Amino acid sequence: MASRGDATRDRLLDATIQLVRDVGYAQTTTRAIAQAAGVAEGTLYRHYPDKAGLFAAAVGRQSAPVTAWARDLPARAGAGTVAGNLTDCLTRLATLRTDIVPFELAMLTDPDLGRAAAAARTAEPGPPEFLTQYLQAEQHLGRIRADLDPAKIAVVLLATLFGLAVPSQRTTDALGGSWPDITDAVHILIDGIGTPARPDDTARPAADHR
């Protein structure tokens, strides 16, 4: 049973997310939010302690479905192919996180906002943990190299995903025409960019690459 207050809260969160996505964090003022939500400026403070609190709630609401979906990830180990699973996973994360990235950038730009969001965050496991668990499971099944730390792989995967979602302007200008999609990135990460060791290689120690 959604009360009037709940509806107002939803409208405020919708407006916030839309504005941050469309005009950027710098232009997302409380006045703009209230106007987009169709409420008075003061109303915002009836539902959230301050602007940072509203933003934290927006991030939270956006994160919830992503986290819910990621919960099933470990159970998929062994099914299909690793590449398929990761492509699926990262594609979904990318899609769902599109609206979150501007918030993450804003938090990095404005430490105060970051602190507020961190305070609002629960300690529950999220995509990073679930992805790590999935990779660990695949490692036990022999489908991921045994000499790698699953957590580190997860960080590299998520970092690459983030880096592709938030490209430095300079790189976009230079190489925007060859921008890889997630399938490309997963392919590179799964198989590596190095030429595979040939069967007659007597030894192909990791040290070769260091």
Partner DNA sequence: GATGAATGAGTATTCATTCAT
Partner DNA sequence: CATGAATGAATACTCATTCAT
- Beta carbons within 8 Å of 32's beta carbon, 6+ residues apart: 19, 23
* Element (DSSP H or E) covering residue 99: none
189 is a contact residue toward DNA (CB under 7 A): no
Judge contact between 79 and 134, C-beta under 8 A. no
Judge contact between 109 and 103, C-beta under 8 A. no
Binders of DNA in range 49-88 (CB under 7 A)? 50-52
Q: What count of residues does the chain have?
A: 210
In angstroms, rounded to a whole number, what is the distance separating the alpha carbons of residues 188 and 192?
A: 5
CB of 159 to DNA, least distance (A): 30
In angstroms, rounded to a whole number, what is the distance separating the alpha carbons of residues 107 and 129?
A: 21
In angstroms, rounded to a whole number, what is the distance separating the alpha carbons of residues 109 and 153?
A: 27
CB of 168 to DNA, least distance (A): 23
Residue 111 touches which of a copy of itself, DNA, none (CB < 5 to 8 A by kind)? a copy of itself
| Nearer to a copy of itself (CB atom), residue 57 or residue 144 | 144
The span of 40-48, 73-81, 138-146, 161-169 binding DNA (CB under 7 A) equals: 40-48
CB of 1 to a copy of itself, least distance (A): 20
Return the amino acid letter for 44: L
Label residue 177 exposed, middle or buried (CB < 10 Å: 0-12, 13-18, 19+): exposed
Residue 98 touches which of DNA, a copy of itself, none (CB < 5 to 8 A by kind)? none
115 is a contact residue toward DNA (CB under 7 A): no
CB of 21 to a copy of itself, least distance (A): 12
| Nearer to DNA (CB atom), residue 47 or residue 92 | 47
149 is a contact residue toward DNA (CB under 7 A): no
Q: Which residues bind DNA (CB under 7 A)?
A: 3-8, 27-31, 39-47, 50-52
